[in-house]
Structure 1
């Protein structure tokens, strides 16, 4: 059964959510709650999704990303994706989400990136 573990770490430059597992219909609500909470506790800040251990994301997970991107914009926060594996990056590319949500090679790069507002 697919599962998802999410750990949250606060850094000086923002909050990092480390995603370990798969995001699909069974885990999308947990992902949505974690991202929403991270964004509401980091208004005007940045939330980085560390995808180095994210093995899979389907359309339900992509919907959560789109909603999170919208919420981040409304709160003038930055939502970024870091270290996606090839398979996840392909999904982001095919759906053009990588053109809306900035994608970085590492969490450090995502935390250090200048805000584009």
Structure 2
């Protein structure tokens, strides 16, 4: 039985989930559960660290798409960090990179997600201007 390594770390208001191993039909549900728990605890501003993912099939890609949709529905943002060449190629082939930003490093991805956050005071100021 395959095991997927998952670790969550908070960076201010953005959470990072480090994924280690292969994301396939045997492990995709574990990834989904971990990401859902992370979003419940930390909110919908999320980075998935894919630097140590060796393989991802359509089950894993479906999880990425579901997570992206869930983040958007909750006014959050998802970014992917450091996918290896094989995983990055699959992400590009299905066009996911046109909807979810893919960054070389976790730090870049966290910065990008943080840039999409609107603090309550900023949202109030923006609504007063309109």
**Structures share fold, TM-score greater than 0.5:** yes
CA displacement 1:32-65 (0-9 Å, x = unmatched): 101112222233x511000110111100111111
More helix by share: 2
> Could you say which residue in structure 2 is the equivalent of 1:80?
79
- Number of aligned positions between the proteins: 116
Gaps of at least 5 residues in structure 1 are none
> Could you say which residue in structure 2 is the equivalent of 1:104?
103
> Could you say which residue in structure 2 is the equivalent of 1:61?
60
> Could you say which residue in structure 2 is the equivalent of 1:16?
16
Distance 1:107 1:28 in 2: 21
Distance 1:38 1:116 in 2: 17
Over the aligned positions, Cα root-mean-square deviation in angstroms equals 1.6
Query: What aligned pairs does 1:16-55 form with structure 2 within 5 A after superposition?
Result: 16-43=16-43, 45-55=44-54
Specify the structure having the higher radius of gyration (Cα). 2
